[in-house]
Amino acid sequence: MELRERIGTALKDAMKSKDAERLSTLRLINAAIKDKDIALRGEGGEGAVGDAEVLAILGRMVKQRQESARAYEEGGRLELAEKELNEIRVIEDFLPRQLDEAEVAAAIDAAIAETGAGSIRDMGKVMAALKTKFTGRMDFGAVGPMVKAKLG
Protein backbone atom coordinates (compact mmCIF):
# COMPACT_ATOMS: atom_id res chain seq x y z
CA MET A 1 0.00 0.00 0.00
CA GLU A 2 2.69 2.47 -1.02
CA LEU A 3 0.29 5.32 -1.82
CA ARG A 4 -1.53 4.95 1.48
CA GLU A 5 1.81 5.05 3.32
CA ARG A 6 2.86 8.20 1.44
CA ILE A 7 -0.37 9.89 2.48
CA GLY A 8 0.15 8.82 6.11
CA THR A 9 3.71 10.13 6.10
CA ALA A 10 2.60 13.44 4.57
CA LEU A 11 -0.11 13.70 7.24
CA LYS A 12 2.47 13.29 10.02
CA ASP A 13 4.80 15.81 8.36
CA ALA A 14 1.98 18.36 8.06
CA MET A 15 1.19 17.88 11.76
CA LYS A 16 4.83 18.41 12.73
CA SER A 17 5.20 21.51 10.54
CA LYS A 18 1.83 22.87 11.71
CA ASP A 19 0.67 23.35 8.11
CA ALA A 20 -3.06 23.57 8.89
CA GLU A 21 -4.27 23.88 5.29
CA ARG A 22 -2.31 20.86 4.04
CA LEU A 23 -3.24 18.88 7.16
CA SER A 24 -6.93 19.55 6.60
CA THR A 25 -6.77 18.30 3.00
CA LEU A 26 -4.75 15.21 3.96
CA ARG A 27 -7.33 14.38 6.63
CA LEU A 28 -10.08 14.62 4.00
CA ILE A 29 -8.13 12.23 1.78
CA ASN A 30 -7.64 9.80 4.66
CA ALA A 31 -11.34 9.97 5.55
CA ALA A 32 -12.37 9.22 1.95
CA ILE A 33 -10.06 6.20 1.85
CA LYS A 34 -11.36 4.90 5.18
CA ASP A 35 -14.97 5.38 4.00
CA LYS A 36 -14.19 3.18 1.00
CA ASP A 37 -12.54 0.58 3.28
CA ILE A 38 -15.69 0.45 5.40
CA ALA A 39 -17.91 0.17 2.32
CA LEU A 40 -15.81 -2.77 1.07
CA ARG A 41 -16.09 -4.53 4.43
CA GLY A 42 -19.84 -4.10 4.28
CA GLU A 43 -19.85 -5.77 0.86
CA GLY A 44 -17.83 -8.69 2.20
CA GLY A 45 -14.52 -7.53 0.76
CA GLU A 46 -11.12 -7.61 2.45
CA GLY A 47 -11.65 -4.12 3.84
CA ALA A 48 -8.61 -2.34 2.43
CA VAL A 49 -8.55 -0.54 -0.89
CA GLY A 50 -5.53 -0.87 -3.15
CA ASP A 51 -3.52 1.83 -4.86
CA ALA A 52 -5.74 1.77 -7.98
CA GLU A 53 -8.83 2.55 -5.92
CA VAL A 54 -6.96 5.23 -3.93
CA LEU A 55 -6.01 6.86 -7.26
CA ALA A 56 -9.66 6.76 -8.33
CA ILE A 57 -10.71 8.38 -5.03
CA LEU A 58 -8.09 11.12 -5.46
CA GLY A 59 -9.21 11.69 -9.04
CA ARG A 60 -12.81 12.13 -7.93
CA MET A 61 -11.71 14.53 -5.18
CA VAL A 62 -9.83 16.68 -7.70
CA LYS A 63 -12.79 16.74 -10.06
CA GLN A 64 -15.17 17.76 -7.23
CA ARG A 65 -12.87 20.59 -6.20
CA GLN A 66 -12.48 21.81 -9.78
CA GLU A 67 -16.27 22.02 -10.10
CA SER A 68 -16.55 23.81 -6.75
CA ALA A 69 -13.79 26.29 -7.64
CA ARG A 70 -15.52 27.06 -10.94
CA ALA A 71 -18.84 27.63 -9.16
CA TYR A 72 -17.19 29.87 -6.54
CA GLU A 73 -15.46 31.92 -9.24
CA GLU A 74 -18.73 32.39 -11.10
CA GLY A 75 -20.36 33.48 -7.84
CA GLY A 76 -17.60 35.98 -7.11
CA ARG A 77 -16.30 34.05 -4.06
CA LEU A 78 -12.64 34.14 -5.02
CA GLU A 79 -11.32 33.31 -1.52
CA LEU A 80 -13.31 30.05 -1.53
CA ALA A 81 -12.19 29.25 -5.08
CA GLU A 82 -8.57 29.77 -4.01
CA LYS A 83 -9.08 27.38 -1.07
CA GLU A 84 -10.40 24.70 -3.46
CA LEU A 85 -7.45 25.23 -5.81
CA ASN A 86 -5.01 24.87 -2.91
CA GLU A 87 -6.69 21.57 -1.95
CA ILE A 88 -6.32 20.39 -5.56
CA ARG A 89 -2.57 21.09 -5.41
CA VAL A 90 -2.23 18.98 -2.24
CA ILE A 91 -4.22 16.09 -3.73
CA GLU A 92 -2.28 16.21 -7.01
CA ASP A 93 0.95 15.62 -5.04
CA PHE A 94 -0.19 11.99 -4.77
CA LEU A 95 -1.44 11.54 -8.32
CA PRO A 96 0.90 10.33 -11.06
CA ARG A 97 1.91 12.78 -13.76
CA GLN A 98 -0.92 13.45 -16.20
CA LEU A 99 -0.33 12.38 -19.80
CA ASP A 100 -0.09 15.14 -22.41
CA GLU A 101 -2.24 15.16 -25.56
CA ALA A 102 0.29 13.28 -27.70
CA GLU A 103 0.72 10.58 -25.04
CA VAL A 104 -3.07 10.24 -24.68
CA ALA A 105 -3.47 9.86 -28.46
CA ALA A 106 -0.73 7.22 -28.55
CA ALA A 107 -2.32 5.36 -25.62
CA ILE A 108 -5.70 5.37 -27.38
CA ASP A 109 -4.15 4.03 -30.60
CA ALA A 110 -2.33 1.30 -28.65
CA ALA A 111 -5.52 0.32 -26.77
CA ILE A 112 -7.49 0.13 -30.03
CA ALA A 113 -4.82 -2.09 -31.58
CA GLU A 114 -4.52 -4.21 -28.44
CA THR A 115 -8.27 -4.86 -28.15
CA GLY A 116 -8.77 -5.26 -31.89
CA ALA A 117 -11.53 -2.66 -31.80
CA GLY A 118 -13.02 -1.91 -35.19
CA SER A 119 -16.23 -0.03 -34.51
CA ILE A 120 -17.99 2.14 -31.97
CA ARG A 121 -19.42 -1.04 -30.41
CA ASP A 122 -15.94 -1.86 -29.11
CA MET A 123 -15.61 1.45 -27.25
CA GLY A 124 -16.22 -0.22 -23.88
CA LYS A 125 -13.32 -2.62 -24.43
CA VAL A 126 -10.98 0.23 -25.36
CA MET A 127 -12.03 2.35 -22.36
CA ALA A 128 -11.59 -0.64 -20.03
CA ALA A 129 -8.08 -1.25 -21.38
CA LEU A 130 -7.19 2.42 -20.90
CA LYS A 131 -8.60 2.49 -17.37
CA THR A 132 -6.55 -0.53 -16.27
CA LYS A 133 -3.30 1.05 -17.48
CA PHE A 134 -3.83 4.78 -17.00
CA THR A 135 -6.07 5.30 -13.96
CA GLY A 136 -5.22 8.66 -12.46
CA ARG A 137 -3.05 9.65 -15.40
CA MET A 138 -5.70 10.84 -17.87
CA ASP A 139 -9.14 12.43 -17.78
CA PHE A 140 -11.49 9.73 -19.02
CA GLY A 141 -14.28 12.27 -19.52
CA ALA A 142 -12.15 13.91 -22.21
CA VAL A 143 -10.76 10.61 -23.54
CA GLY A 144 -14.20 9.10 -24.26
CA PRO A 145 -15.03 11.46 -27.15
CA MET A 146 -11.51 10.97 -28.55
CA VAL A 147 -11.96 7.19 -28.58
CA LYS A 148 -15.41 7.60 -30.12
CA ALA A 149 -13.99 9.80 -32.89
CA LYS A 150 -11.28 7.24 -33.73
CA LEU A 151 -13.71 4.33 -33.77
CA GLY A 152 -16.62 6.13 -35.42
Cα(151)–Cα(115) distance, integer angstroms: 12
* All structural domains of the chain with their residue ranges: 2-92, 101-151
Cα(35)–Cα(41) distance, integer angstroms: 10
CATH of domain 101-151: 1.10.10.410
State pLDDT tens for residues 61-91. 988 999 999 999 999 999 999 999 999 999 9
State pLDDT tens for residues 7-64. 999 999 999 999 999 999 999 999 999 999 888 887 776 768 888 888 889 988 988 9
Cα(98)–Cα(52) distance, integer angstroms: 15
Structurally, at CATH architecture level, domain 2-92 sits in Orthogonal Bundle (1.10)
Contact 105, 146 (CB under 8 A): yes
CB atoms within 10 A of CB 15: 14
- pTM of the model as a whole: 0.72
3-state DSSP: the chain helix, strand, coil percent, rounded to 5?
80, 0, 20
Residues listed for the chain: 152
CA angle 87, 90, 91 (to 5 degrees): 85
Short-list 107, 149, 150, CA closest to 132:
107
Helices 20-42, 2-16: crossing angle, 10 deg rounding: 150
